[in-house]
Amino acid sequence: MAIVTLNNGVEIPQLGFGTAAIDEWQKDNGYVTDTILKAISIGYRHFDTAAVYGNERALGRAIRDSGLPRQELFITSKVWDTEQGRGTADAFARSLERLQLEYLDLYLIHWPVPAYTRETWEVMEALYDEKKVRALGLSNFRQSDIEQIATFAEVKPTYNQIELHPYLTQKKLVDYCCFHRIAVSCWSPLGSGSWSGVETRDKPVVDPLIVELAEKHGVTAGQIILKWDIQQGRIVIPKAEKLDHIRANFLLEDFELSDAELEKIDSLNRDHRFGGDPDTAHEENRKVEVPE
């Protein structure tokens, strides 16, 4: 499995497993744990969750039941909008408790809330100094948000997790992050899941170009999109529930896309978001509570 080295020297598996809305949104049950255990059995070692997903306990149970040494796993969680600012330290402590872990590998600000960013980041820096988290990062941050952090941060962000797929390539933001040595991670890399209400026919996995390339290389459409990201140095965290999909997303070593093929996929960009827009998401996010 390919590894990306973050700007503070911490190594992260380039291919991770997304856990948002396994089963359904904010479900924390045996099915979620079993799904994560399937991923572990196939070889995934990087798992991405968030307080607001409501499934940190299920991930914690899977970590325990896997029997793997903690240091073999890379675990990411995130602080939600309603818990930012002075609530960040308590939110982090609750995430650790739910996960039954002593530390996190990566902790992210889930969405930008500029009024709270400085206070939130300074709390996160304290957690980093206390070695409760190995790396600090961002999610859904725009260039302006990253520029804000740069004015006061003692610890540089290592990572920015954004919506990125062939219909939303965010090239300018990706180039900015790469220039500043901030790793780019893609959420919903295949287009948003069933929880989002997006019809399969509208997703890039059924785009004629992607389907044509999949047939040419003898792989799935999802594998084409994930390989497109991997070959360009991006981190991907696809979510899947069926064993064959979990396995297919992991098996990306046996084919390569040419530069011309990568460029063709790049050209599919429509600046189309399936998920929330950082310009407006906070108003809706404030209405969503983190479940206990």
> Which sequence spans correspond to the domains of the chain?
12-197+232-241
pLDDT at 181 over 70: yes
What is the C-alpha separation between 123 and 34, in angstroms, rounded? 34
Query: What does the pLDDT look like over 149-178, one tens digit per residue?
Result: 999 999 999 999 999 999 999 999 999 999
pLDDT at position 199: 79
Q: What band does 1 get if pLDDT is binned at 50, 70 and 90?
A: confident
- What is the pLDDT, as a whole number, of residue 156? 97
User: Two tokens at 36?
Assistant: 């994560």
Report, as an integer, the average pLDDT of 124-146: 98
Sign of dihedral through CA atoms 250, 256, 259, 262?
A: negative
* pLDDT tier at 195, thresholds 50, 70, 90: low
The mean per-residue pLDDT over the stretch 180-201 comes to 82
This model's pTM is above 0.85: yes
Query: Mean pLDDT across the stretch 221-238?
Result: 97
Contact 20, 257 (CB under 8 A): no
CATH topology for the 12-197+232-241 domain:
TIM Barrel (3.20.20)
Q: What is the pLDDT of residue 192?
A: 65
If you compute the radius of gyration of the chain from its CA atoms, what whole number of angstroms results? 18
Average pLDDT over residues 231-240: 96
Q: Say whether 53 is catalytic.
A: yes
pLDDT of residue 194: 53
Question: For residues 58 and 36, what is the distance between their CA atoms, to the nearest angstrom?
Answer: 8
Average pLDDT estimate for 212-235: 97
Set 44, 53, 116, 128: catalytic member: 53
Mean pLDDT of the chain: 95
Mean pLDDT of 96-100: 98
